[in-house]
Amino acid sequence: MILDLLFPNRCLECNRIIESELLVCPVCFSQIQFTYHDFLSENSLKERCKLLFPLENAFALMEFEKESLSRKIIHELKYKSREKTGNILAEWATEYLDFKDEKPDLLVTVPLHPRKTKERGYNQLHLFTERLSQSYQIPFDHTLIKRNYYSSAQALKNRKRRLENQNTFSVTKTIEDTHILIIDDVFTTGNTLASVVWEILKRGNNKISVLVMAMDV
């Protein structure tokens, strides 16, 4: 309580004091560029993913534009030690995400290397995924995919390095005849996501859908 008085929670956009469980004030919330994707219909994320790998369905929560509020939110989650931001993003996602009759069998996160997890203190996708799991009654598995190599932040790699993703990931257990929803934070080129997907597809007759917190536009 004393900390709340000394260091009140402030809106990421306008710096106005807000309730502790919020990220932005109601006024700035209206500035977030939600995609309003329909999970089962054609949308821009699905079109881009289908150029890289076979896909059932896709959903992006927000647009990830330069200097946008959504970018600030993702950066708070990944780099500012605000792990609980994942819970808030999951709450927003459930307002727009309707699986209808195509509910996946399993939620799987794109992993960090253990060294990166230790440096950051958490994987930014875990709370988000666990809240979705609870809301939709879908099991999750944070260990199905393993990242084999430690590397610098994806945003700092040049295009050549982005394309060198072979053997970056491996599947740790048998997985067959399963509809898997792969969850990541931001979709940019899609190369990292594609590396994860192809490892899963090589293991059995699995189906893939994709969910990301934000997509570059």
Tell me the per-residue pLDDT of 115-126, one tens digit each, with 9 for 90 and over. Answer: 887 788 888 999
pLDDT at 20 over 50: yes
- What gap in Å lies between CA 126 and CA 7, rounded to an integer? 26
- What gap in Å lies between CA 117 and CA 88, rounded to an integer? 21
- What gap in Å lies between CA 53 and CA 72, rounded to an integer? 29
Q: What is the pTM of this model?
A: 0.89
What are the residue ranges spanned by the domains of the chain? Answer: 9-216
Q: 169-171 and 145-147: which strand pairing? A: antiparallel
**Whole-number average pLDDT of the chain:** 89
* 155-161: average pLDDT: 48
Could you name the CATH architecture of 9-216?
Answer: 3-Layer(aba) Sandwich (3.40)
